[in-house]
Amino acid sequence: MSSLYEVVCEEATKLSHKGIFKEAFQFEDKICGAIKFSAEKGIYVSPPREILNLPTFSGNKYQVDCFFTYNKITYAVECKRRQITTRDQIYYFNSILLDYVLGLKVHHIDHFVKGIFISTAPIDDNSLKYCIVYAITVIHPDFPPIEYMLSKAADENLKRALMILQEKLPHLNPLFKEGQVDNLHRDALNLLDEYKYLIGLWKVHRGG
């Protein structure tokens, strides 16, 4: 996650309206390359824009910007190199994830799908809460992943608080869970507030 955040921050400084589609493809290529470079040996990382060949509830198959599989979880990566990110982009991405989640469940396959949404533009709080509930990892310049903050933080109390938050965050789509999930929507706001508070502390600690 750390290398992905650095790529996102770098790309955010280069945004322009020229060659928008070409630059979007290049961004996807960079993200896939960063994942492949940092992946442990034996982890499959797809080429950019490959079909994710897992069962879906609808029977459709979808092209994703990149995906990799580790420990029975396939991580689908969506990349947005834009100056504005809309909620519809996140909702559509999750609709694809849900199709795979339900497909795996109805076929009784012991495997999971998780989303990573990467954007060069800020994302509104309602969309961030939505992503927390559905266990979608969000990375944008103002929202560094916990792994990145941990790698840069020197203060032990801050590190401890980040690790506690990391444990609190949902790790899988709630449809994979058995039993009650009623409290997830209530927890999301508190988790987001805690996340943003720790980002603030981390930035002060780093002087940025």
Tens digits of per-residue pLDDT, 17-30?
A: 555 677 889 999 99
**What are the residue ranges spanned by the domains of the chain?**
2-206
What burial class does residue 132 get, using C-beta atoms within 10 Å of its C-beta: 0-12 exposed, 13-18 middle, 19+ buried? buried
2-206, CATH topology level:
Trna Endonuclease; Chain: A, domain 1 (3.40.1350)
Quick one: which H or E segment has residue 95?
helix 87-106
- Phi first, then psi, for residue 80 (nearest 5°) are -125, 110
Q: Are 199 and 144 in contact (CB under 8 A)?
A: yes
Label residues 31-67 b or e (16+ Cβ within 10 Å = b).
bbebbeeeeeeeeebbebeeebebbbeeeeebebbbb
Name the CA radius of gyration of the chain, rounded.
17
- What's the angle, vertex CA 68, arms to CA 114 and CA 101, rounded to 5? 30
pLDDT of the chain, 208 residues: tens digit per residue: 778 999 999 988 887 655 567 788 999 999 999 999 888 877 899 999 999 999 999 999 999 999 999 989 999 999 998 877 778 899 999 999 999 999 999 999 999 999 999 999 999 999 999 999 999 999 999 999 999 999 999 899 999 999 999 999 998 888 886 555 556 556 888 999 999 999 999 998 774 4
| Tokens at 189, concatenated | 């706001």
pTM recorded for the entire structure? 0.91
pLDDT in tens, 24-69: 899 999 999 999 988 887 789 999 999 999 999 999 999 999 999 9
Residues 6+ apart with CB under 8 A from 116: 4, 75, 76, 77, 78, 136, 137, 139
Residues 115, 131: Cα–Cα separation, whole Å? 9
